[in-house]
Structure 1
Amino acid sequence: MRPPGFWSASPERPGVMARVLAPLGWLYGAVTAQRVKREGTPVGCPVICVGNINAGGTGKTPTVIALAQYLQGKGLKPIAVSRGYGGSMDGPMEVDPRVHDAGQVGDEPLLLAAFLPAWIAKDRLAGCQAAVEAGADVILLDDGFQNPLVFKDLSIVVVDAHRGFGNGRCIPAGPLREPVEEGMKRASAVLSIGPDEAQKSFEKQWGSRVTVPHAKGALQPLQTGMDWQGQRVMAFAGIGHPEKFFATLRGLGAELVEMRALDDHQELTPAIFNRLESQAKALNAQLVTTEKDAVRLRPEDRYKVLALPVRLEIDDWGGLDEIIQRLIPSKLG
């Protein structure tokens, strides 16, 4: 389901519905604040949590991938731990792309497993303990910022620079899992993701309320040799903000003849895919989707669809690098 429009209103003008739902939002935030007061259990190796304050997609998965590649470049063995989304297996269990599909383990863990060992567990503490037993030098906890079970050595709050923290209110009055001020008390750093114009807007609106080190990054298409200029494409995406994917394709010069925004993590059933394929043929267009959506396709359908890979480029690793160096100095020397 798409989030209600008033969630993205400015904090100064949140809208009538936000005001009506404000008491429920306050209660939601208060319950979260009480729940996260519990001090988590250390698991025996450093834990870097990549989470968010907003509900929905903010760019956590690309951030985990970027951090994994950074740590691997330092000679470390990071292991990702995720709850999974919609998977049929409880775990703890290591994801094997050769055996598992998105319906079993979730699309994000399946995508992560292409870059580093990835474990799923509905009990994140058990998942982290399993990762330690599997030889992790450092655990990348995918989401879980509001999960109190695991002690986090470092928590990076990821936020979409364009959307910021929405109207600044908690669910259901706004998009937040907890108030920004409460989240900042536990965060080690904030990473805002978006182009320069969005970063400037985020800084103007929220800069004074970001009270921890602030890093900036942007998602950039991976150069694969594909020439998108003038290509007739029918794009579909079931991610947090599909419009960002469509804008990326336009920026590459593709001619978007049709766009289909699906629900985040929506199952790509044979019936749904057949409709997409039929419409693309009628439009004489190539089906294009995201990497995360592609892993949810049946093997027999994947060859019919082009996936556009993107990678997170962080403007300046300096601040994050310094924090990570302090976190695991014995490993990084």
Structure 2
Amino acid sequence: MRAPSFWTIRYGRDSAPILRLLLSPLGALYGASVARRIAKASPLSLSIPVISIGNLTAGGTGKTPFSETLRTLLAELLGGQIGIVSRGYGGSLEGPVAVDPAVHGADAVGDEPLMLAQGGPVFVGRDRAAAGKLAAQNGMKALILDDGHQNPALAKIISLVVVDGQTGFGNGHLIPAGPLREKPAIGLARADAIIVMGAVSDDALEDIDGFKGPVFKASLNAKPVAIGGPVLGFCGIGRPEKFDATLRSLGLNVVDLYPFADHHRYRPDELVRLEADARAAGATLVTTEKDYVRLPPDFAAKVQVVAIEAILEDEAAFLAFLRAKLDSHLGQD
């Protein structure tokens, strides 16, 4: 689904105050169910460190690119392979299974795990404790638990919460009245550090004010692409307007952007329309890495990809934070 616009609007008529009020009881039930699931869980402790990356809101905050950055840093610190454990959202396999890009498609393991598997080991499973055990058996030095802040299956030594620097926690209400998966005071109490992604607004600063742990800033940078002439973008991500802004930041001549639902599976007729509209405009089709892995190979060959990387503002400080946490954990073994 695409996030409703009123989720990020805090005041005024466009914030849909009446609808928000009507949906608030459902939000209270949602929040209670998350809290109950976490409270009743018995997390599995693995023999290797588990680092969770998550957020408090639905929709994209930059967790996936940051997972790649974190994997690189952990590999340098620990001197070995770092596995990523994912639920495999959108995939049909229950798992646990090690993702093999040469064998698996997005329909089997999910788009984000398949994309992450281009850079290193990824393990998917509905039961993330089972996926974590499989990763440990495969010789991983540590695990990154993707989208793991509300998942209590594995005991974590570090919990990182990624916050969108512009929208923060949105209108401050729980799903479906707003974007929150749980109340910030509860979610941040389990966090060891916050990663603020992108330029920071006053609203976002207010949302994280009072957090006692370290706050690190990062940005999402698009890798340059050599495309001459107009481009027609398309994407199925949580906030498609971000991809539009990315294309324009690269100086590309964007004639149009076609937004689809997050994790959208493209139908043949949609691909025919995209190709026809691009041809009529004399434009090159451009999409995200996440969308690219969901495309049929014959169509993907006609599409350019814009890759995104997460860059820490103060990598040295973040490395020091990681090293201290890892040393503390390993010293107890």
Fold conserved (TM > 0.5)?
Answer: yes
Cα distance in 1 for residues equivalent to 2:35 and 2:314: 32
Any idea what the Cα deviations from partners look like across 1:44-63, whole Å, max 9, x if unmatched?
11000111110122111101
The answer on 1:54 being equivalent to 2:52 is: no
Cα distance in 1 for residues equivalent to 2:147 and 2:108: 19
Amino acid aligned to 2:221? Q
Any idea what the Cα deviations from partners look like across 1:238-266, whole Å, max 9, x if unmatched?
11111111111111111111110111000
Aligned to 1:221: 222
Cα distance in 2 for residues equivalent to 1:155 and 1:86: 24
Amino acid aligned to 2:70? L
Conservation of the 8 A alpha-carbon contact between 1:161 and 1:201: no
Aligned to 2:90: 86
Cα distance in 2 for residues equivalent to 1:202 and 1:237: 27
Amino acid aligned to 1:62? P
Aligned to 1:307: 305
Amino acid aligned to 1:80? I
Give the stretch that moved more between structures: 89-98 or 68-77: 68-77
Task: Give the alignment of 1:40-189 within 5 angstroms.
Answer: 40-74=43-77, 75-189=79-193
Aligned to 1:35: 37
Task: Quote how far apart the aligned CAs of 1:153 are.
Answer: 0.9
Any idea what the Cα deviations from partners look like across 1:64-97, whole Å, max 9, x if unmatched?
1011111223323200110112111111111111
Conservation of the 8 A alpha-carbon contact between 2:166 and 2:204: no
Task: Quote how far apart the aligned CAs of 1:331 are.
Answer: 10
Number of aligned residue pairs: give it. 327
Give the stretch that moved more between structures: 96-105 or 312-321: 312-321
Task: Quote how far apart the aligned CAs of 1:39 are.
Answer: 4.3
Cα distance in 1 for residues equivalent to 2:205 and 2:159: 23
- Residues 11/92 of structure 1: CA separation in 2 closer, same or farther (3 Å cut): farther
TM-score, length basis structure 1: 0.93
Amino acid aligned to 1:109? P
**Percent of pairs identical after alignment?**
43
CA-atom RMSD in angstroms: 2.0
Any idea what the Cα deviations from partners look like across 1:213-248, whole Å, max 9, x if unmatched?
21111111124xx335x6300000111111111111
Amino acid aligned to 1:61? T
Task: Quote how far apart the aligned CAs of 1:5 are.
Answer: 2.2
Cα distance in 2 for residues equivalent to 1:313 and 1:55: 22
Amino acid aligned to 1:44? S
Task: Quote how far apart the aligned CAs of 1:154 are.
Answer: 0.8
Task: Quote how far apart the aligned CAs of 1:186 are.
Answer: 0.6
Amino acid aligned to 1:64? S
Cα distance in 1 for residues equivalent to 2:273 and 2:204: 42
Aligned to 1:232: 230
The answer on 1:205 being equivalent to 2:206 is: yes
- Residues 267/209 of structure 1: CA separation in 2 closer, same or farther (3 Å cut): farther
Cα distance in 1 for residues equivalent to 2:328 and 2:300: 43
Give the stretch that moved more between structures: 291-300 or 11-20: 11-20
Task: Give the alignment of 1:254-333 within 5 angstroms.
Answer: 254-329=252-327
Conservation of the 8 A alpha-carbon contact between 2:44 and 2:155: yes
Could you tell me which runs of 5 or more consecutive residues in structure 1 were left unpaired when the two chains were aligned.
Answer: none
Cα distance in 2 for residues equivalent to 1:251 and 1:24: 39
Task: Quote how far apart the aligned CAs of 1:321 are.
Answer: 2.0
- Give the 3-state SS of the residue equivalent to 1:58 in structure 2: coil
Cα distance in 2 for residues equivalent to 1:65 and 1:202: 28
Give the stretch that moved more between structures: 35-44 or 76-85: 35-44
Cα distance in 1 for residues equivalent to 2:33 and 2:67: 28
TM-score, length basis structure 2: 0.93
- Give the 3-state SS of the residue equivalent to 1:296 in structure 2: coil
Cα distance in 2 for residues equivalent to 1:42 and 1:332: 13
- Give the 3-state SS of the residue equivalent to 1:96 in structure 2: coil
Cα distance in 1 for residues equivalent to 2:249 and 2:82: 33
Give the stretch that moved more between structures: 31-40 or 137-146: 31-40
Any idea what the Cα deviations from partners look like across 1:167-197, whole Å, max 9, x if unmatched?
1111111111100000011111111111x3x
Conservation of the 8 A alpha-carbon contact between 2:231 and 2:256: yes
Conservation of the 8 A alpha-carbon contact between 2:55 and 2:149: yes
Cα distance in 2 for residues equivalent to 1:269 and 1:309: 23
- Give the 3-state SS of the residue equivalent to 1:287 in structure 2: strand
Task: Quote how far apart the aligned CAs of 1:267 are.
Answer: 0.4
Task: Quote how far apart the aligned CAs of 1:209 are.
Answer: 4.3
Amino acid aligned to 2:197? I
Conservation of the 8 A alpha-carbon contact between 1:325 and 1:332: no
Cα distance in 1 for residues equivalent to 2:259 and 2:47: 42
Cα distance in 2 for residues equivalent to 1:331 and 1:222: 36
